[in-house]
Structure 1
Amino acid sequence: MAEICPVCGLPKELCMCEEIAREQQTVRISTDSRRYGKIVTVVEGIDENDIDMDDLAKKLKSKCAAGGTVKEGRIELQGDHKKKVKEVLEQMGFKTDVR
């Protein structure tokens, strides 16, 4: 028997929870200056309960060819990658706000 999603009640194969969460959230993309003048791209506003942050960070790091981490509910990428991150997140179905 197919496993049922506890949120929407549909079978896991047909579950739409993650896609609905993406459409309802606005993701903020900004840059921050760190130690010794290093630039970091910060992605905030993603609900950790609906989306696997580690998997999303891995995808963004590979698309931007940069290192990064997940800290305190936000993704930090080494370097200024606002344009590339915006393109990737919009292709994935997120609404973005670049600052």
Structure 2
Amino acid sequence: MSRVVYSTDAGRICPNCQQPERKCQCREPEKVSLTDGVVRLRLDRKRKGAGVSQIEGLGIAGAELKKLAKELKAKCATGGAIKDGVVEIQGDHRQRLKQLLEAKGYQVKLAGG
């Protein structure tokens, strides 16, 4: 049995679904299922400026996560990004984000930061 692990056209190949790693769908559900149902908000001050509000444990991925991040950035009137399933919103918006997420039905906890 021959199994491709690397392709010069696509790069690394997922051993489970035989798709390029960047298009692999079989690993995403594992990340989503590792949440305990509590969304955690924390402030990362390791960067210059006011810091970054981080949202962890949403339990969603892909397009749904991007849509939620876009909505939260718009409501806070600021920029942000998604890094490894963690939504980052520029500035200290923890209280506003807590209200917005609780209105959507999430259980939210402010973590130290």
What TM-score, normalized by structure 2, do the two folds share?
0.61
| 1:94 aligned partner, one-letter code | Y
C-alpha separation between the residues in 1 aligned to 2:106 and 2:84?
20
Aligned residues: 77
Deviation at 1:36, TM superposition (A): 2.5
Given candidates 78, 81, 87, the residue that maps to 2:90 is 78
Q: Deviations over 1:71-95 (max 9, x none)?
A: 1011000000000000000000000
More moved, 83-92 vs 29-38: 29-38
Work out whether 1:55 is the aligned partner of 2:104.
no
Structure 2, unmatched stretches of 5+, are 1-35
Deviation at 1:47, TM superposition (A): 1.5
Given candidates 43, 57, 60, the residue that maps to 2:55 is 43
**Residues 1-99 of structure 1 correspond to what in structure 2 (within 5 A)?**
25-49=37-61, 52-99=64-111
Residue 15 of structure 2 corresponds to none
More moved, 47-56 vs 80-89: 47-56
Q: Secondary structure of 1:66's partner?
A: coil
Deviation at 1:98, TM superposition (A): 0.6
Q: Secondary structure of 1:70's partner?
A: strand
Identical positions, percent: 38
| 2:105 aligned partner, one-letter code | G
Structure 1, unmatched stretches of 5+, are 1-23
Q: Which has the higher helix share?
A: 1
Higher relative contact order structure (alpha carbons within 8 Å, sequence separation ≥ 6): 1
Deviating beyond 2 angstroms after TM superposition, the runs of 4 or more aligned structure 1 residues are 34-38, 48-51
Deviation at 1:48, TM superposition (A): 2.6
Larger radius of gyration: 2
